[in-house]
A and B are shown apart, each in its own frame.
Chain A
Amino acid sequence: MGNKRIDLPQGTLDLLILKTLALEPQHGWAVSERIQQISSDMLHIQQGSLYPALHRLERRGWIKAKWGASESNRRAKYYELSRSGRRQLEVEESAWRKLTAAIGQVLETA
């Protein structure tokens, strides 16, 4: 827990959720755990904003929800990427890469 955590830049939470769900369907808690694990605990997700984000994505039709049993045998709401969600992920990923590349370029040359 000694690492300094980074707060998520505005608008990136959706991207991370979509990416996480692209691997396999997950329930909300697992999504936040997974993001933290993969980012080596560097990214700090406000759990309070995770769920509104999930519901927003569901409304837009990018993810679908269904109820299932979790690994600890609890009833949990699983989210999975829809076809349009997959397309959205590609769009957002490439946009993100372009953005970071551009910013990196500026930082290196300027």
Chain B
Amino acid sequence: MLSDLLYRLRALFRRKSMEADLDEELRAHLEHEVEKYVQSGLTRAEATRRARLKLGGLDQVKEACRDARGISLVDTLLQDVRYGLRVLRKNPGFTAVAVITLALGIGANTAMFSVVNGVLLRPLPYPEPERIMQLSLVSRGQSEGMDFSARQFDFWSSHSEPFQCLTAMTDVGFNLVGGSRPERVRALRVSTGYFQVFGVQPALGREFSADEDRPGGANVAILSHGLWVRDFASDPNVLGRTVVLDSASFTIVGVMPSSFESTWSFMGSSVPVDLWTTIGQVASTIGSGTNYDVIGRLKAGVSRRQANAYFATLTKPFLLEFDPEEAKNISSQISIAVFPYNYVITSNDRGPLLILFGAVGFVLLIACANVANLQLARTATRSREISIRVALGAGRLRMFRQLLTENVLLSLMGAVAGLLVAYGGLHSLLALTPTELPHAQNITLDRWALGFTVLVAVLASIVFGIAPALRASRQELHEALKESGGRATSPRNRVRSALVMAEVALSLVLLVGSGLLIETFTNLLRINPGFDPHNLLCLPIWTTGTQYKSSADLDKSYEDALRRIDAIPGVKSSAVVAAGSPLEQGGNDYVHVVGRKDSEGFSADYREITLEYFNTLGVRLLQGRFFTPADSAGAAKVTMINAAFAREHFAGLNPLGQDLRLENDTLEIVGVVSDVKSRLDEPAPSTMFVPIAQASYGIDQLFQAWFPTTVLVRTAMNPLGLSHAVEEALRQSNPDMPVGETRSMDEVLSHSIAYQRFLMTLMSVFAALALVLAAIGIYGVMSYSVNERTHEMGIRMAVGANRREVLWLVVSRGLGLTLAGLAFGMAASFGLTRLLGGLLFGVKPTDPTTLIAVTLLLTAVALLASYLPARRATKVDPMVALRYE
């Protein structure tokens, strides 16, 4: 076998000389043969003729020798590539259309793949990331909640058989003072197992000790690489220094490596973590120790299924200990299970991204159908060329391979152009990417994307190329050489019609999807947030660890800051709200209505406000009164509720004068205001408001760990123009207080629907691409069929058909194909748009209006696409057409 290989290799590299050898060998043969005939008395000319006849076709013999030498694999490939390039060069129109079509299809897919790969597929940058699991309560296969309490974490710590180690973590914010300006840092409080679970050790220093991770333990912190560089100038001697977080000193014991990536979802944005500290100190304080994420690393060799089997047996003991009520009526539906950590992080984005990926796959299918159609049309015109090559000794397999090579070439050219499309597309796409998308920084055109592009290109070439290549290599010689054969509806036409129907069907699905998302988006835009978002400035601030140690002090400092802000020209009014700003998620707490025997208490949103809050937002008073300066720290505690609260908990009763119990306080309801939305696509939550002066300082500080306090400024002009003045006023009022990113409420509003905008825009772009490609497809097929039927048209017109009839003849066929495609598309869209269900707002997946609108649009486009060729048909001169044969 070695000699065989050497022979083939030599054959490959010495192709030129071997080709010359072959020529000479055969020439020698002919000369010997001629000599023999001449000696037997023939003339030289006759002898030459006979010798040639006897040997057979020289080219066929050579070809057979090349095959026998076995170099044909590589050799014919090179030959095919050269030939293919020549063919493509000779048909620049066809090549350009096909390459552009493929470039759009492949490019869009590459761009979308980069997103899917960066966000969903890329493994987390930890050793053996697939072993990192998050513990969750599961009901009917759906994760119900991942929050556990400190005590529950202790329970899991002592029942962690499948885990090599496990950890609890919760996100917090700190005011870091001492840098160039006060800064708000994002931190994770973690238990000691954290670094083993993620398998990463600090680059400098050490991890936390068990002694530090307990109530009363020493305050220690580990810095992220980013914070170390930013605030500590990459000081290698940073260990042992202290950092002041919320006015408490923390000793720096470590710095994480720059490769350690930890992001946390903060206020709907995925942001990097700045530092880590221990969770043990706050086990009984932070949200009563709830909101723990419990994450573990599975022991080597333990599967997720084994872990789940183990935790399923613990469901009952767990519920008995922590939720006896639930344990009593325990249904087999509820259990404890683990989910891969990466899956948890991306669970919200998986569905939408995969839907978009599917949609862009449809675009590629349509592009392939188009190119297949072009190829089929071309095969018809190329049939002579192909027949001649077959007649000259090219095998059918060889012919098939040649055509496939051509397709792959076409596809690769499409892929190269597609990379440009992807490059440009990805830039626009990233600009649209909502900040909620995790790992968005990983979205690049990397080698995976390149590999994917090549793979897609090759697959595409097979998808669009196999039918034309099969048909071409199989056609009957004599028929093709006669050239006029197959005028009527040939099987080729049936394939092409089917392709067009498929294109229409796929386009319909995409258009319906995009229509539904557009409808969703416009519905959201129409939603009244419950206040006037224009000319309103929002500034997040944090007061944790500042010198104000009581709510009354806090209130005084806010009033001071607000007075300074109100003095700025252009400011109409200003207010502070803590525990959640309008159109953003906020805090909630447990409330009881005093005197209700059956009242078990319920969860309601909770906000602390200054006096001008409702006035600044433009929220209406429905009942009772607003807060007044008389509702001060020492006065009787009062609260206001929103309309949703009144509806839900005081249906038909007058809430005024009723008392609410919140933690240890009793508050009298003095007013009811109209609703303000936290999310545009959800009704406003039941909300209670308290004057900041009367608020519980503990609750205030607790909520600030998650939600910034917000300064709202109503302006008479573009609010962003005043942002500097307002920031300056805040700084003068309290130089130690970090001020976050200033935004106008219009920006907040826009941000709140960024995800829907992202989905809508991408889906619409894909649908528009699909529509254009489908239109090109219909146009191509109709043009071709008009050309093919020129003769028939001529006869029809010669025997008296008028232009209208001829026009209708063509248009009706295009329309017929479209309608058939629409029928298939509708059936498909009924099945597929259900996937969009959770992403829609105010519109059903089977919305008839959208369906009708989209159908009309597609029909109109199809009409136009077949009208243009039809008009050409009516211009056929009967005489010319008849002579055409």
Question: Residues on A close to B: CB < 8 A?
Answer: 27-30, 33, 46-49, 51-53, 55-56, 58-61, 70, 72, 74-77
B67 at the A interface (CB under 8 A): yes
Residues of A within 8 A of B65 (CB): 51-52, 55
Are A70 and B64 also in contact (CB < 8 A) when A47-B55, A48-B55, A59-B4 are? no
Taking Cβ atoms with an 8 Å cutoff, the residues of B that contact A are 3-4, 7-8, 21, 24-26, 28-29, 31-33, 35-36, 54-57, 60-61, 64-65, 67-70
Q: Do the beta carbons of A28 and B29 come within 8 Å of each other?
A: yes
Complex Cα gap A74–B55 (Å): 19
Q: Which residues of A contact B36 (CB under 8 A)?
A: 33
Chain B residues within an 8 Å CB radius of A27: 25, 28-29, 32
- Beta-carbon contact of A61 and B33 below 8 Å: no
Residues of B within 8 A of A74 (CB): 28, 31-32
Establish whether residues A53 and B68, one from each chain, have CB atoms under 8 Å apart when the complex forms: yes
Q: List 5 A-B contacts (CB under 8 A).
A: A29-B28, A60-B3, A70-B32, A77-B24, A77-B25
Contacts of A52 in B (CB 8 A): 61, 64-65, 67-68
Give Cα distance in the complex from A68 to B26, angstroms: 15
B538 → A minimal CB distance (Å) = 80
Known: A59-B68, A60-B4, A61-B3. A47 touches B56 (CB 8 A): yes
Q: Are B28 and A49 in contact (CB under 8 A)?
A: no
| Least Cβ–Cβ distance between A104 and chain B, in angstroms | 32
Give the residue name and chain of the B residue nearest to A58 (CB): B7
7 cross-chain pairs, A with B, having the tightest CB-CB distances, nearest first: A48-B56, A61-B3, A52-B64, A29-B32, A52-B68, A56-B68, A55-B68
Residues of B within 8 A of A49 (CB): 64
- Check A59–B33 contact: CB distance below 8 A: no
Chain A residue contacts of B70, Cβ below 8 A = 59
Contact B64 A72 (CB under 8 A): no
C-alpha spacing A77/B29, complex, angstroms: 9
| Majority-rule SS of A interface residues | helix
Residue of A nearest to B69 (CB): A55
Minimum CB–CB distance from B183 to chain A (whole Å) comes to: 76
Give the residue of B7, B26, B57 whose beta carbon is less than 8 angstroms from that of A51: B26
Contact A48 B61 (CB under 8 A): yes
Which chain A residue lies CB-closest to B35?
Answer: A72
Report which of A28, A46, A70, A72 forms a contact with B56, defined as CB distance below 8 A. A46
Bound-state Cα–Cα, A62 to B33, Å: 26
- Known A-B contacts A27-B28, A48-B61, A52-B61; the reply to A77 vs B21 at CB < 8 A is yes
A48–B64 touching, CB < 8 Å: yes
Cα distance A60–B25 in the bound complex, in angstroms: 19
Complex-state Cα separation, A28 to B28, whole angstroms? 9
Task: Give the Cβ gap from B34 to chain A, nearest Cβ, in Å.
Answer: 10
Contact across chains for A61 and B4 when beta carbons are under 8 A apart = yes
CB contacts (< 8 Å) of B21 on chain A: these are 77
CA distance A27 to B69 in the complex (A): 17
Closest chain-A Cβ to B124's Cβ sits at a distance in Å of 53
Q: Is A59's CB under 8 angstroms from B8's CB?
A: yes
Which residues of chain A have C-beta atoms less than 8 A from B64's C-beta?
48-49, 51-52
Question: Closest CB-CB distance, A44 to chain B, in whole Å?
Answer: 10
- Report the Cα distance A10→B296, complex, angstroms: 70
Residues of A within 8 A of B7 (CB): 58-59, 61
The residues of B that contact A59 with a CB separation of less than 8 Å are 4, 7-8, 68-70
| With A29-B32, A59-B69, A70-B32 as contacts: A51 and B4 at CB distance below 8 Å | no
Give B3's nearest chain A residue, CB to CB. A61
A47 contact set on B, CB distance < 8 A: 29, 33, 54-56
Report B840 CB to chain A, min CB distance, Å.
Answer: 66
Q: Which residues of A contact B3 (CB under 8 A)?
A: 60-61
Alpha-carbon separation in the docked complex, A46 to B69 (Å): 19
Give Cα distance in the complex from A59 to B26, angstroms.
Answer: 18
Given the contacts A77-B21, A77-B25, A29 and B8 also touching, CB distance less than 8 Å:
no
Assembled-state Cα–Cα distance A61/B6 (Å): 10
Of chain A, the residue at the smallest CB distance from B28 is A76
A48-B61, A55-B68, A59-B68 as given contacts; A70 in contact with B28, CB under 8 Å: yes
In the bound complex, how far is the Cα of B60 from the Cα of A30, in angstroms? 21
Given A29-B28, A48-B64, A49-B64; 10 other pairs, CB 8 A cutoff: A28-B28, A47-B33, A47-B56, A51-B25, A51-B61, A58-B7, A72-B32, A74-B28, A77-B25, A77-B28
**Which A residue sits closest to B29, measured CB to CB?**
A29
Q: Cβ of B28: which chain A residues have Cβ within 8 Å of it? A: 27-29, 70, 74-77
In the assembled complex, the Cα of A61 lies from the Cα of B3 at a distance in Å of 6
Closest to B1 in A: A61
> Which chain A residue has the least Cβ–Cβ distance from B11?
A59
CA distance A89 to B4 in the complex (A): 18
In the bound complex, do residue A29 and residue B61 qualify as a contact, i.e. CB atoms below 8 Å apart?
Answer: no
For the complex, what is the distance from the CA of A27 to the CA of B4, rounded to whole Å? Answer: 22
A31 vs B194: C-alpha distance in the bound complex, in angstroms?
A: 82
- Bound together, the chains give a CA A58 to CA B68 distance in angstroms of 9
Query: Of residues A55, A74, A75, which shows the largest number of chain B Cβ atoms within 10 Å of its Cβ?
Result: A55
A28 to B35: give the CA distance in the assembly, Å: 15
B73 to A: closest C-beta gap in Å: 13
